[in-house]
Structure 1
Amino acid sequence: MASRSTRTDPVTLEVVDLIGTMVARYHQDYEQAAARHALTGAQARILGLLSQEPLPMRQLALRLKCEPSNVTGIIDRLESRGLVERRPDPQDRRIKVAAPTEEGRRTASALRASLDFADEPLARLSKEERLLLRGLLRRMLGEPADGAPPTT
């Protein structure tokens, strides 16, 4: 746990403000990119997650930190647009997973390509600086810097 002096340290306060500014820029750009594809931010986020791997609703809810019923509604809307489909889980056929359709994968790819936010500030950093930043962010989140799953 951070000590009181660390939390009020001027450098720490500035870093917190800078992180807040970056998060706000990211959300603004993400919402604009999603809107260009006629998606809400939540729909775009789910489509992006599913383009990496099909996931059960409960797992999506955990990753988005929301109720499974919210995810069900979002999946319903994405499914009605032909971007997502429900399939039986290969490991447990009682469970349904959401998976992107081919159109969903194309939309997720186009959405990622239209995010200006990642290109603009990160382009100012060298590859070494981006690797350092990635490692620091992972460390701040309690993840291994190399991207391996945490060991317990």
Structure 2
Amino acid sequence: MTEAPRAQEPVDTDRLMERLSMSWGVYLGDFTLAAASEHLTASQAKALTALRRGPAAMRALADTMTCDASNITGIIDRLEKRGLVRREADPSDRRVKNVTLTPEGERVTDAIRTKMHTTQAGLSTLTTEERATLDALLERVFTCHPTT
């Protein structure tokens, strides 16, 4: 005899927030270990990851990373010294410095992502359809919303 499918119980916001917190903790730990294997701090690796989307002005990068502009200067100084990023004057405003990844910075960013074994293993359990659903849900939940 086949059992009738049970209706899913609703999941409240508190449970989802706890699940996101746990997931973020696992992801961040994985990311931090992978960054350390490339002799980077998590903040340095986060800057590289943000720059993977394309060049950014120092101020915009600080905003993306939710840190003070003075902190981003130190992070970029250290990444530039290692040859992972370069600063370039903005063509429309020479006072603005844009930061871009170098080919070595791209390689290191890829290496970090590859070394995130726990995250890679978890995501590999998802089907193609589940990955598409997760992507759409994350996009919907974390699209920038005005703060109130």
Query: Which region of structure 1 is more displaced relative to structure 2, 23-32 or 131-140?
Result: 131-140
- TM-score normalised to structure 2 length: 0.83
Task: Name the CA shift for 1:66/1:91 in 2 (closer, same or farther; >3 Å).
Answer: same
User: What SS is found at the alignment partner of 1:52?
Assistant: coil
Task: Name the CA shift for 1:140/1:52 in 2 (closer, same or farther; >3 Å).
Answer: closer
Specify the alignment match of 1:107 in structure 2: 108
User: What SS is found at the alignment partner of 1:99?
Assistant: strand
Specify the alignment match of 1:69 in structure 2: 70
For residues 6-48 of structure 1, give each alpha carbon's deviation from its aligned partner in whole angstroms, at most 9, with x where no partner exists. Answer: xxx8643322221111000001000000000000000001012
Task: Considering Cα pairs closer than 8 Å and 6+ residues apart, tell me whether 1 or 2 has the greater RCO.
Answer: 2
Query: Which region of structure 1 is more displaced relative to structure 2, 58-67 or 82-91?
Result: 82-91
Percent same amino acid at aligned positions? 40
1:127-142 equivalences in 2 (<5 Å): 127-142=128-143
Gaps (5+ residues) in structure 2?
1-9
State the Cα RMSD in Å: 1.7
Distance 2:91 2:110 in 1: 25
- TM-score normalised to structure 1 length: 0.81
Specify the alignment match of 1:41 in structure 2: 42
Gaps (5+ residues) in structure 1?
1-8, 144-152
Specify the alignment match of 2:56 in structure 1: 55
Pairs aligned (count): 135
Distance 1:131 1:57 in 2: 33
Query: Which region of structure 1 is more displaced relative to structure 2, 10-19 or 41-50?
Result: 10-19
Distance 1:127 1:74 in 2: 37
Distance 1:118 1:93 in 2: 40
Q: Radius of gyration: which is bigger? A: 2
For residues 105-147 of structure 1, give each alpha carbon's deviation from its aligned partner in whole angstroms, at most 9, with x where no partner exists. Answer: 211121122122332111111111111111112222246xxxx
User: What SS is found at the alignment partner of 2:88?
Assistant: strand
